[in-house]
Amino acid sequence: MRSLVSAFPPQKRLDIVDTSGTNIYFPFDAFKKHHQYTLPDISISFPGETVTPGDWQTISMVVEVKGDKGEDPFMKDDNSSMHVRTVEQLAKNARNLLLAHGFLSAFVVGIYGRTVRLARFDHAYGVVARPFSLDDDDGARVLQKFLWHFVHPVVGHRVVGSDPTVMPFTDYDREWVKTQLSALKPKNWEAHVGELEKGRRVEVYDQRTGRCVPYLAYHLVDVNGRLFSRATMVWRAIEDTRVWKDGKLVPDPNSTRQVQPRILKEAWRQLVRRAETEFYDRLESTIPHEEMFGLARMECGGDIGSLELRWWKRRNSAIPPVPPADQPADLPIPFCSTGRDNALANHFLAPTVDHVPPFAFPLPYPQHQTYSSRLENSTRMHHERSHVRIVIADVGHPLTEFKSSREMVAAMRDAIEGHRIAWERAKVLHRDVSLGNILIADDADEGSHRGFLHDWDYSNLEPIQVDSSSQANAARLTEDDEDVSPENIEEHKERTGTYYFIALALLRMRPGTLHQSYHDLESYYWVLMWVVLRHTACHREGGLSGDALCVQLFGPKEDISSAPMKSEWLRDERKLIVSGNEPLTTLVDRFNDLVGLSQTDRFDLVPRVPLTHSGVLALFDEALAMEGWPENDWKACMLLEKPRTTVPPTPILADVVPGYPIHSEGRALRSKTASNKALTVGLPTVPSGSASGSHAPTQRSGTKRANEDHESAPSGATHSRKRSKASAMAPPPAPGSGSGDAVAGPSGATTSEGRGQRSGSRAASTVSRQPSRRSSRIEARKEKKASGSDSAR
């Protein structure tokens, strides 16, 4: 591989390093305990740079190598554990690349003996190209072409798949952030600059004004580590008030505005769901600013994917683009200012919310909105995802980082009040009350909320009398995302809620059960139990300690075992004692009774009493008014201290065998053989195939992979699409060979959400499938047998 890139210009040459013996951990240190290391066989640098072994920040692509062509997992239909684990190796490395760099898509290469597979992953799908052999006359040439085009992206400043609205921090960026924070001195700011080398400059599209606003994201607060998911990343960030001058960012001499820390969130929403910005618009247009108590407030934000789709659609319309006179030929992305002089950037600031850049879209398909399944069927879009960024004015830290338990309880109380206001005043139901969605406010002013509720992208809007702006936005966004009937929207929505905190009735899913406000109130109870069991000195009367109780209560990973465990927990007459903390002990006990009385059981003599906001708030107010709250009673959780050293022995079978499309009616069809025709049915003339995965741990033959990351892996069928030949560049001729046509880069489709979010409709899926009940049971047994727990995910 080094010989293939030796003829590249120095500024485009790749450093190719053997890292097969190097443990490469999750890209962000704060989350290493949640995800174990991987060992990619070969690591590839960014153009003109070098690889630092073990550091994802210096790696742009990885190569996994097996010794025999029979280990190619995509030519088999037996779904053996070996092939499942090989697919997981590819998927986990792709996940790490996507998160480490903010990539829109990531490429990984598999070499099986002399057989080569090129794979592309984004947060909705994975696709694998048809294989080629290094023994063929042009095999090495094809791989060389792929690497050449990888370092010559049509859009973006680094490699194919990099986000043109993102720039990694430079040394000057890091120093500027430190200077701003040292002047502001926000809470714990010194601890937040420990990984500035992993920060990034990010353009936030504000759909209210049509402008793009640059922010410097300097500290990762939270991350969803699942590959095929919303992939939410939450950062602390400050606005970048500098201006471009002579190709560099310099302080604006005319600016007197003082930046303030903000929360920057980016996620990949499911297209059949409303953009989170729409919920913030409803809240802030309905509730007066002074009454936005316990609720996060949006400073700016928008759906980049929807904007890009509008722009892309006009590319094929009859309206000819009109390029501005000062547009440079190498402009990476016209609606953002990344890497451009400030005067030019201002030229592209959109004047209206419906703005579309006045020149041609540079790619054949959008990249901030996944598009793979629609290439085969334009109506098959329910698993596609769109890239959203928002900036929240309220800044906070997790519930699990309280100093005193009273601080944590006060924050939860105010978040419950915010939930009440949102529902009663704006008819917005959150539907995903969870640990990560309740924050303790940093440096709360007197009279302001001590905690707040955020993350509204799984919420629901009920009609209200005055909502013309929201209706207009809804119509516009539906048009941006293409027309989907209301029936299809409801059919293909994933059911909401973070699994550990889902209400008992929603786990049981009896006929006619709909998500109501009292289900969210019950979720607050399970969040409280999670924090108390993990981070206070507590025990059950005459029984287990908090850590053991946490494993018992939150250990089950499927409805059939989780629902009975929660029910049994509520009925247990033994009191949970928080040592030296009578107020918290009382709150937990009374909240337990309130939730228990809200459950329905035809054999109970006590009538059901639904949970209400007033009833729950009264419990919290009474507890907060009590004397005896201890100071500094936070306790570290020890459940993740012991790393796993073994992997479960039983793999989880994928719902779909590699190489077979999922049909729109009924279950996926399995065949005895995976013919080439089956691999390419209905696809363009690009050499491409199918990818599949499962939920088994990654383990390579031998012992190398025994400690690798144990995450859910993809499951589903894949499709492919043709890569653009928009660039006129060509790779250098290979030694001893003539030039050839550019190879098409793969793109495509597979699978569904990970376990952390409840699966939605059981209706037939056109692209991907959720794990079966049998798979879930096997997974629960598998994790129980493992030597460590992964419950924190």
The pLDDT score that the predictor gives to residue 390 is 95
Please, which residues have CB within 8 angstroms of residue 349's CB and are 6 or more apart in sequence? 210, 211, 212
Q: Which runs of consecutive H residues, i.e. helices, occur in 485-642?
A: 486-492, 504-508, 517-535, 546-554, 559-571, 582-597, 613-625
Q: Which runs of consecutive H residues, i.e. helices, occur in 38-79?
A: none
8 Å CB contact between 264 and 242? no
Q: What are phi and psi of 115, to 5 degrees?
A: -95, 135
Shortest CA distance to 427 belongs to which of 461, 400, 388?
461
Query: Does any domain span residue 330?
Result: no
- Count how many domains the chain has: 1
The pLDDT score that the predictor gives to residue 80 is 83
237-243 own/partner pairs: CB under 8 Å, 24+ apart: 237/202, 237/261, 237/262, 237/263, 237/264, 237/391, 238/177, 238/180, 238/181, 238/262, 239/213, 239/214, 239/215, 240/201, 240/214, 240/215, 240/216, 242/176, 243/342
Q: Report residue 759 as tokens.
A: 């699966």
User: What is 542-566 written as a DSSP string?
Assistant: TS-BHHHHHHHHH---SHHHHHHHH
Q: Report residue 774 as tokens.
A: 């049998």
Q: Please, which residues bridge with residue 302 across strands?
A: 389
Instruction: Count Cβ neighbours within 10 Å for each residue of 216-227 and write b for 16 or more, e otherwise.
Output: bbbbbbbbbbbb
Q: Categorise residue 638: left if φ over 0, alpha if ψ from -120 to 50, beta otherwise.
A: alpha
- Output the CA angle 303-392-494, nearest 5 degrees: 50
Query: Does any domain span residue 528?
Result: yes
Query: Does any domain span residue 554?
Result: yes
Q: Please, which residues bridge with residue 461 across strands?
A: 428
Q: State pLDDT tens for residues 117-131.
A: 999 999 999 999 999
- Can you give the three-state secondary structure of 463-480, one letter per residue? CCCCCHHHHHHHHHHHHH
Q: Which residue has 């992206």 as its token pair?
A: 153
Residues of the chain with pLDDT under 70: 76-78, 315-355, 358, 465-497, 512, 600-605, 640-793
Please, which residues have CB within 8 angstroms of residue 157's CB and are 6 or more apart in sequence? 164, 167, 332, 338, 339
Burial bucket for residue 665 (CB in 10 Å: 0-12, 13-18, 19+)? exposed
The pLDDT score that the predictor gives to residue 78 is 67
The pLDDT score that the predictor gives to residue 507 is 86
The CATH code of the domain that includes 566 is 1.10.510.10
8 Å CB contact between 390 and 300? yes
Q: Please, which residues bridge with residue 166 across strands?
A: 202
Q: Which runs of consecutive H residues, i.e. helices, occur in 648-790?
A: 676-680, 773-785
Q: What are phi and psi of 107, to 5 degrees?
A: -110, 140
Strands 211-223 and 166-168, bridge-based pairing: unpaired
Q: Report residue 42 as tokens.
A: 């070969």
Query: Does any domain span residue 24?
Result: no
Q: What are phi and psi of 469, to 5 degrees?
A: -65, -45
Query: Does any domain span residue 518?
Result: yes
Indicate the angle between helix axes 405-426 and 582-597, nearest 10 degrees: 40
Q: Categorise residue 497: left if φ over 0, alpha if ψ from -120 to 50, beta otherwise.
A: left
Q: Which residue has 């990539």 as its token pair?
A: 103
CA dist 206 → 140, 222, 231, 281 (Å):
45, 22, 20, 12
8 Å CB contact between 659 and 683? no
Look at residue 267 and give its three-state secondary structure: strand
> How many CB atoms neighbour CB 733 within 10 A?
13
Radius of gyration of the chain (CA): 26
Look at residue 85 and give its three-state secondary structure: helix
Query: Does any domain span residue 595?
Result: yes
Strands 106-112 and 61-66, bridge-based pairing: parallel
Domain range for 418: 403-458+496-633
The pLDDT score that the predictor gives to residue 445 is 74
Q: State pLDDT tens for residues 700-739.
A: 333 333 333 333 333 333 333 333 333 444 555 544 444 3
